Structure 1
Amino acid sequence: MKIAFLGNYPPKACGIGTFTNSLARAILSNLKASSIDEYAEIIAMEDASDQHDYPKEVTRCIRPQVPQDYRDTADYLNDGKFDLLLLQHEYGIFGGNDGTHIMHLLDKLRIPLIVTFHTVLKEPSFSQRDVLSRIADRAQAVVVMTQLASKLLDKVFSVAPSKIHVVEHGVPVIESAPRETLRKQLGWSDRRVLFTFGLLGRGKGIETSIRALPAIVARYPDTLYVVLGKTHPHVIKHNGEEYREYLQDLAQELGVGDNLRMISKFASEQELFDCLRAADVYVVPYPNEAQITSGTLAYAVGAGAGIVSTPFWHAAELLREGRGKLFPFHDSQALATTVIGLFDQPAELQAMRERAAAYGAHLLWPKIGKQYLTVLGEAQVAFRTQEAQSRQRTHLPRLKLDHLVRLTDDCGIIQHGKHAIPNRYEGYCLDDNGRALLLVGMLAKDGLADSDLLGRLSDTYISYIFHAQNLDGTFRNFMAYDRRFLERTGSEDSFGRALWGVSFCLAHPVRADQRPLLEEIYLRAIDHLENMTSPRTIAYGVLAASYYLDYKPTDERMLNLLDRMCSRLIDHYNDSRAEGWNWFENYLTYSNGILPFALFRAVNHLNKETIRAVAVESTNFLAEQTIVDGVLSPIGCNKPFTFRKARPQYDQQPIDVMCKVLLFNEACRHQELQPHCANVPIAFAWFTGQNDLKAPMYNPETGGCCDGLMESGVNHNQGAESLIAYLVSRVVIENFTIAHSDKQRVNTPDTGKAALKALLNGFALTEDVVSESDGGAKQATS
């Protein structure tokens, strides 16, 4: 048995660190091992400025803002014969936007994963929801500490209920001296003591308690409010002791300075429990409901304290059935009334303490550790029962055309967006209307959207293309928003992209009555391909001719044109090819996958081994250059990637990803290129966050796709090119998933009990740990 824990860890002074250590010791208490390092290793999150002296079980550290540390740790875990990883998740402890850097590790991880979510939000931002959902998707089991958190994971984050286990926050097994002895030792014998502890910072609501003090002191002058805890390290870094000083000044201003004692100390568990048992009332004045877990509250229940709290989520659940009293947020008068009422009725206060202590007996860490062991067994089963390529599984967002409709007006598709709003300043272009026509043709062919909607959209895009065509068959490209074309003749690439969309809809029309105009546009334009020199335009021409031949397969003129265009593309390949460089140019730039993709399409009509061989070689080369550690890393467009020069990493463009999705999907239809089947979901996953920055490019809220992945982060503008690149890829991956679904499963143990028994081989303290595993998981989620 060899387990890895990842999170903060003592001596770092924070709640996650304390929890990670407590959980490791709780599991240890159920094993034959005598120390944590005998069965586990700890991987600690450690800022570069930290200099903590960690115990021997801490074998590695991860610098939160260094992605390579996460990737290296994944390699260490995969190669180190670890049985599983237990991850403690809190948004703030990992680097990247809302902690997205942790995905650098999880995307490479090849062992079972169990995650404890310490924060689950009711109204997360898009980024917060995306990060947590992706972590949960990778995990075999997730643990939360309240029933509400379980419901939020299901309803807000769409986590599979079968993965979710409710295991409450543990409390230490700590003996204390009799209460009166403790009060004497602490100097509280002649005082009525209110007590609060935890790391200080704004957001703890302690000012509410201090504002309640004057009314309490007026009735009970001997009242003392003790606040125990150091200021949070992040608060110290940015604001020093400003909050502590503010609280002290507030007490003086209210005339209760002598009734407040603030102790700046990160207390031991023994000290905390002694204080909780000695105090009269433990006060939790958090100012808002959105706290799903509170370790301090769990400790107070475990210690049998008399608790008065605001109704934040964990308190509302844990203090039911008379285990504590609740008062409204920010309501110092209600707090004072509640405390005075308890002081007036000491028998009720004592009964409340006893109810809390009785419930707390179920929260002792050894019992919590046993429940976690049950989860570990179930996670092992879940991991082994996944399909052979489940670790490459890509979650498919719902196919959504809202942003396509938003960008399309009665003239055409507007080419740029300002965030998700159409940017009229930039007008329209032929490129995007040609690609949009390709998209609606693909959607109509596969029956993936409403036919009336697709009919209206395709009419608009065809109309734009027809309007943009000159009488000689060439095209204009850019049009201002006032519908004035801005040049006489557009670029070669815009010409080729328009023909690609036109020819696809000739072969697969959205409506049959559109074909005459599409064929007229196509035939007027096609001869101009002979005079064009750009390799990508030639590739678009190959695609256009191949789709036309799908429509009219015996057209000798088009067969001859296709043959000539393929020969020109192969000439480019032969002129640029060198040892270690199997490509059509001596550099890689944009839309690279379109070149071999076009040749694969041509093979459907020209059965020539030379064409197929160049397509195979160039596809293998492009995959080698752009798939790194199982993640697509497209060639950056900051500058060309020249042979034997450093590869530019940014900025990465969605259109280049689309071309790779199309290429790998087409390539894996060929027997010797079956390995590229694995690259189709890898390429698509770039849109959903499996990329160099672990940042989602597709926004399911708007239905749009961000315009680029820059070194500084995501370009959040959502224009037409990026949107169409995503949607075309989404159509391809939909069909790919259906065609390549693998129904064979790996042989697995029958139960979590069998998996846990195998995991604990040599470590089981008693048979109880294993024999209770089948029922324990049900209890954990009840």
Structure 2
Amino acid sequence: MNILIVAPSSPEYRSVNLYTTQLFSCLKHLAEDGEKVDLISFGEEVDGGLCTFDKYVLDDYQEAVSTINKYDACILQFHPDGFGGADGDFILSLVSQVQIPLLSIFHFVSSEPQEREKRITNYLANKSMAVLAFSQLAIEFLEHYYKVSRDKIFRTDYGVSMFEPLSLIEREKAIGVNSEKVIMACGDMCPSSGFETIINALPSIQKTYSNVGLIIVNTSTPDSNTREYKKVLKRLSAQRGVKDQLTIIDYENVGGDIGQLFNSADAYVSSNINDKKLEDAFLSIAVGSGTAVISTPSWYAKELLDDQKGSLFAFKSISELSSELLQVLRNNSEVQLFRANASLYGAQNSWSVLIKRVREIINSSSSSFDVEVKESLFYPADMPELNLQQLLSLRANAGFIEESLFGVPDFKSGYTLRGNAMALQVFAKVNKFKHDQQHVCVIQQLLGLIKLMRKDDGGWGSSLSYEGQVIGVGQEIDLAYAVWSLGVVYSSCKEEGIKDVAYSMMLQLFNENDFNSNDASALVLLGVSEVLKNDQSNSDLIDRLRGALANLKKQFPTDAYQGWQWHEKEIQSQVGLVLLGMLSAYELLQEDEILSIVKRAMRFIERFLFVDTRFLPTAIGRSREQSIEVKDTIQESADTYLITKVYAKLFALTSNTRYAKLAFSAHSWYLGDNTLGRSLFDINSGGCYKALSKRSVEPVMSTTSTSTYWLSYFALYDVYSEQVLKEL
């Protein structure tokens, strides 16, 4: 049997990397005659790996599929942050096309999963012949919260390599520390690791053991946060008088086997302050290596240290840790029993034993596992890759200037609130796909631009000169677009500070403006719904949502059989905006009347939006009294993305593939499926032209037009991921 391992590879996930390299090495070492074992990685190159792919490029997932399907079985190492996309959902485009038996190993199971996390995990599990998890509690979570079949889930551990214990001289050479007693800890350089507790406990240990050393192995990637936290620990150790006893070693500088190093310590302390941890690779390796372990009572630690394999101390309790450390360092009979039990656990979970279990699972499951690959309407890899070059070329001192001609920025056009609000949405969504500090900086800048739009007298503007002067009076529709974008930032960004700023700015806009028009009400629904996705207990926002929704529902005909099923006497611009807002409210309220209104209205408007299945964004001008064609022949880029999003949302809510096809048709207008057969999207710059006239594409690219293209792109990707998740 030929086996291929697929794994993320990134310095941020040391435990996944360690597990992958050891699994790969042991499978190859224990390979049967004629068997081939290979590895492909997403992220960084792995020694001995077959090839490496970019985890943020959808094309690479498609390319990886052709490699995977040449093997007899595939082992997938899954961590949601290890792959591109929202919640790691780029992996769906790969797994959906794998035609061989798949064994998935879940390196992270959230104790408080969002609905989409559950669906992605459930999909991977259902596409797998078996699933491995690292704790019994993780198995229970997968079964009860993620709805994974219990028959498919097996327990595994992190594995321990065979090693000879280090002598004191060898240990000193490996870590550069010559102490009578050595305490070791390991983890990321961040407050949740709780290393301060160990440092605070050292002075009392010194009273009994003056020559004691604390070694912390840093598993974080080198960045400013890591460096600053190291300084925090060094300052604390100086304040406590134990500066000379503290040594911090970066993971890359630890030679040999990490389990061998842990074994050489007199004590290993896991001081993390997250009680809901369901996995902890380095704690497991420390126990398996036969180390005397002391840990805070996280869910995983309580399960792992059961049967007298170690001791526990309360979170952040300096006195309890001091007491436990003194017991361990005395190396009494109880501590020797802990070490013996831990060593037995390690022997039962050596890599040779784990590899045997993996083989048994593959062999017993693959013969009866039926692999089914369903044809998709389209694949994301068939779409242009994400490219924000043109949008970033419009970035200036305050935000994004509105226009460029033939790619040359027009600084006199200044900044518009609506354009920058839409760009803010783009970068909030991109940041969810690929968390990047540059994207965070752009988001912060755009939030600052919205603040600039507020005048000293308390009023608001809709545009800003290049020099930074607020121009004119703020239009209700533009301010409402800002509300929507602030909601998207709140739901998409991980940084609590940014979320707080976005939320407070939204409340300020509500307090200082009335949003009464149909379009403004719809935009309020969209913004508020984004916030309520994560916090449905906010009664003020729920009241605002219900009020805006009631205003919109009154605009639609109550008679489902009359001919005119639109909310206005004339079809205006922003076609689809009102319906999109109502659908966002339906997601939260689940009132059937809302969905019924939207579906009826879309059936009505489709007569004007599609000609022979080709999307034609020129419905403006249709009225109840007369049936003129259009007011002009200009087809605006900004009118297309809303329809794509409406159909994407309808597909997600109803599972009707007709809506998926219509979303694809609407988005394809940007890419040349239009009356002129000309693409408005420029593949080289990633920009989108503003409009399509009767004869040509207008040469103006704007912040608004480019942003609408990418928002339509994200909506279409949502269609694909929804289509995949609905397969099972």
TM-score interval (norm. to shorter): 0.5 to 0.7
Q: Deviations over 1:519-546 (max 9, x none)?
A: xxx9xxxxxx9xx996569999xxxxxx
**Secondary structure of the structure 2 residue equivalent to 1:642:** coil
Who is 2:385 aligned against?
none
* Letter paired with 2:132: V
Aligned residues: percent identity? 22
From 314, 319, 323, the counterpart of 1:337: 323
Structure 1: distance between partners of 2:338 and 2:375: 50
From 105, 114, 117, the counterpart of 1:128: 117
2:365 equivalent to 1:373: no
Contact persistence 1:87–1:113 (CA under 8 A) = yes
Matches within 5 A, 1:246-395: 246-266=232-252, 270-344=256-330, 346-384=332-370
Who is 1:21 aligned against?
21
2:144 equivalent to 1:155: yes
2:96 equivalent to 1:107: yes
2:679 equivalent to 1:646: yes
Q: What's the TM-score once normalised by structure 1's chain length?
A: 0.53
From 58, 66, 79, the counterpart of 1:75: 66
Q: CA deviation at 1:107?
A: 2.5
Contact persistence 1:192–1:223 (CA under 8 A) = yes
Q: Deviations over 1:333-376 (max 9, x none)?
A: 21112112333562221121111111211010010001111221
Q: Describe the shift of the 1:533–1:12 C-alpha distance in structure 2 as closer, same or farther (beyond 3 A).
A: closer
Q: CA deviation at 1:267?
A: 5.3
Structure 2: distance between partners of 1:462 and 1:180: 77
Structure 1: distance between partners of 2:554 and 2:182: 79
Who is 1:39 aligned against?
36
Contact persistence 2:106–2:133 (CA under 8 A) = yes
Matches within 5 A, 1:520-669: 634-635=667-668, 641-646=674-679
Contact persistence 1:641–1:647 (CA under 8 A) = no
Q: Describe the shift of the 1:216–1:378 C-alpha distance in structure 2 as closer, same or farther (beyond 3 A).
A: same
* Letter paired with 1:60: C
* Letter paired with 1:132: T
Q: CA deviation at 1:278?
A: 2.4
Q: Deviations over 1:20-50 (max 9, x none)?
A: 111123333443359xxx6122111225xxx
Matches within 5 A, 1:208-219: 208-219=197-208
Q: Describe the shift of the 1:462–1:322 C-alpha distance in structure 2 as closer, same or farther (beyond 3 A).
A: closer
Q: Describe the shift of the 1:131–1:10 C-alpha distance in structure 2 as closer, same or farther (beyond 3 A).
A: closer
Contact persistence 2:189–2:218 (CA under 8 A) = yes
**Secondary structure of the structure 2 residue equivalent to 1:120:** coil
Q: Describe the shift of the 1:87–1:185 C-alpha distance in structure 2 as closer, same or farther (beyond 3 A).
A: same
* Letter paired with 1:95: G
Q: Deviations over 1:715-759 (max 9, x none)?
A: 99xxxxx9xx99xx99xx99xx9xxx9xxxxxxxxxxxxxxxxxx
From 206, 220, 224, the counterpart of 1:232: 220
* Letter paired with 2:111: K
Structure 2: distance between partners of 1:306 and 1:136: 36
Contact persistence 1:118–1:292 (CA under 8 A) = no
**Secondary structure of the structure 2 residue equivalent to 1:31:** coil
Who is 1:92 aligned against?
81
Q: Describe the shift of the 1:298–1:334 C-alpha distance in structure 2 as closer, same or farther (beyond 3 A).
A: same
Q: Deviations over 1:577-601 (max 9, x none)?
A: xxxxxxxxxxx99989x9xxxxxxx
Who is 2:542 aligned against?
none
Q: What's the TM-score once normalised by structure 2's chain length?
A: 0.56
Q: Deviations over 1:424-455 (max 9, x none)?
A: 946669xx9xxxxxxxxxxxxxxxxxxxxxxx
Contact persistence 2:5–2:38 (CA under 8 A) = yes
2:55 equivalent to 1:55: no
2:715 equivalent to 1:710: no
Contact persistence 2:297–2:312 (CA under 8 A) = yes
Q: Deviations over 1:627-682 (max 9, x none)?
A: 7xxxx99535799733532386999xxxxxxxxxxxxxxxxxxxxxxxxxxxxxxx
From 175, 179, 201, the counterpart of 2:164: 175
**Secondary structure of the structure 2 residue equivalent to 1:121:** coil
* Letter paired with 1:42: L
Structure 2: distance between partners of 1:494 and 1:473: 21
**Secondary structure of the structure 2 residue equivalent to 1:142:** strand
From 134, 141, 146, the counterpart of 1:145: 134
Structure 2: distance between partners of 1:296 and 1:709: 41
Structure 1: distance between partners of 2:327 and 2:236: 24
* Letter paired with 2:272: Y
Contact persistence 2:182–2:212 (CA under 8 A) = yes
* Letter paired with 1:206: F
Q: Describe the shift of the 1:535–1:286 C-alpha distance in structure 2 as closer, same or farther (beyond 3 A).
A: closer
Q: Describe the shift of the 1:77–1:646 C-alpha distance in structure 2 as closer, same or farther (beyond 3 A).
A: farther
Contact persistence 1:323–1:356 (CA under 8 A) = yes
Q: Describe the shift of the 1:130–1:473 C-alpha distance in structure 2 as closer, same or farther (beyond 3 A).
A: closer
Contact persistence 1:634–1:649 (CA under 8 A) = no
**Secondary structure of the structure 1 residue equivalent to 2:157:** coil
Structure 1: distance between partners of 2:142 and 2:29: 30
**Secondary structure of the structure 1 residue equivalent to 2:41:** strand
Contact persistence 1:5–1:86 (CA under 8 A) = yes
Q: Describe the shift of the 1:307–1:240 C-alpha distance in structure 2 as closer, same or farther (beyond 3 A).
A: closer
2:227 equivalent to 1:241: yes
* Letter paired with 1:115: S
Structure 2: distance between partners of 1:331 and 1:352: 21
* Letter paired with 1:140: M
Q: CA deviation at 1:319?
A: 0.6
**Secondary structure of the structure 2 residue equivalent to 1:354:** helix
Q: Describe the shift of the 1:44–1:29 C-alpha distance in structure 2 as closer, same or farther (beyond 3 A).
A: same
Contact persistence 2:186–2:219 (CA under 8 A) = no
Q: CA deviation at 1:252?
A: 0.9
Q: Describe the shift of the 1:176–1:534 C-alpha distance in structure 2 as closer, same or farther (beyond 3 A).
A: closer
Who is 2:154 aligned against?
165
Q: CA deviation at 1:291?
A: 2.4
Q: Deviations over 1:458-481 (max 9, x none)?
A: xx99997667999x9878733xxx
Structure 2: distance between partners of 1:184 and 1:465: 79
**Secondary structure of the structure 2 residue equivalent to 1:646:** coil
**Secondary structure of the structure 2 residue equivalent to 1:641:** coil
Q: Deviations over 1:279-322 (max 9, x none)?
A: 21111111112322222122212221100011122211111011
Contact persistence 2:308–2:341 (CA under 8 A) = yes
Contact persistence 1:94–1:101 (CA under 8 A) = yes
* Letter paired with 1:248: K
Structure 2: distance between partners of 1:371 and 1:32: 15
**Secondary structure of the structure 2 residue equivalent to 1:21:** helix
Structure 2: distance between partners of 1:31 and 1:240: 40
Q: Describe the shift of the 1:645–1:283 C-alpha distance in structure 2 as closer, same or farther (beyond 3 A).
A: same
Structure 2: distance between partners of 1:382 and 1:633: 42
Q: Describe the shift of the 1:167–1:633 C-alpha distance in structure 2 as closer, same or farther (beyond 3 A).
A: farther
Contact persistence 1:194–1:223 (CA under 8 A) = yes
Q: Which has the higher contact order (CA 8 A, sep 6+)?
A: 1
Q: Describe the shift of the 1:77–1:341 C-alpha distance in structure 2 as closer, same or farther (beyond 3 A).
A: closer
Unaligned runs of 5+ in 1: 393-414, 433-459, 479-488, 496-521, 523-528, 541-567, 569-587, 595-618, 652-706, 717-721, 742-782
**Secondary structure of the structure 2 residue equivalent to 1:43:** strand
Contact persistence 2:557–2:566 (CA under 8 A) = no
Q: CA deviation at 1:5?
A: 1.0
